[in-house]
Amino acid sequence: MFKRTILVFVLAVLVLLGPQHLSPAARAGSAEEVRSLFERFVAAQNAHDLKAVGETLSDSKDFLWVTRGIPVWGHEAALHRFQALYQSTWRLDPVMAEFKVIDLGSDTAQLFVPVKFMIAPSGQTAQPSRFLMNQTLVRTGQGWKIASILPILVPPQ
C-alpha cells in the first residue's frame, strides 16, 4: 500500500510540474518537428502551393493570422487570402540561424524567426521588408499545425 501511495504521489507531482520538465531530448525532438513544419510552410509559401500551405495550418475556425493589422480568422479564410496574395510577388526568406522554439507545453509551442519578406502587387518591383515572425503551433493527431501567425514589421532604420 505504501509503495502504491508513493507511486501515485510521484505521478501527481510529474503531472503538476508539467511539460517544462520533459527531458531535454524530448524537448529537442519537439523543437525539430516544429522547425520541420516551419520549413515546409516556407517552401509551400514560396512555391505558392495553396494545398501544401493548408496542410501546415490548423484546420480550425479559430486559426488566426494577423496581416497588415487585420485579423484573418479561420483556415478557409486564410487560404482565400493567401490565394489572392499569390497573384503578386510573395516570397519569405527566414534567417534560420536565428530561429527559436519556445516550449509552451507538451502540445503547444511558439516559434520566432526574423524573415526578409518580398511582396509587391503584380507587375511592380518588390522591395524587401524585415519582419519578426511569430507563430503558435499545436500538436494534433496529424502532427504539429500552425494555430496563429503574427508577423511584426521591423521599421526601416
Q: According to the model, what pLDDT value does residue 1 have?
A: 53
Q: According to the model, what pLDDT value does residue 30 have?
A: 87
Q: According to the model, what pLDDT value does residue 98 have?
A: 98
Sequence spans of domains, the chain: 23-153
**Cβ atoms of 148 and 135 closer than 8 Å:** yes
Q: Going from the first residue of the chain to its last (157 residues), give the mean pLDDT of each consecutive group of 10, the final group possibly shorter.
A: 42 43 50 96 97 98 94 98 90 97 94 95 88 97 97 91
Residue range 23-153, CATH number? 3.10.450.50
Quote the pTM value: 0.80
* Integer Cα distance of 5 and 38 in angstroms: 44
Between the CA of residue 137 and those of 31, 53, 70, 88, 103, what are the distances in Å? 11, 14, 20, 27, 10
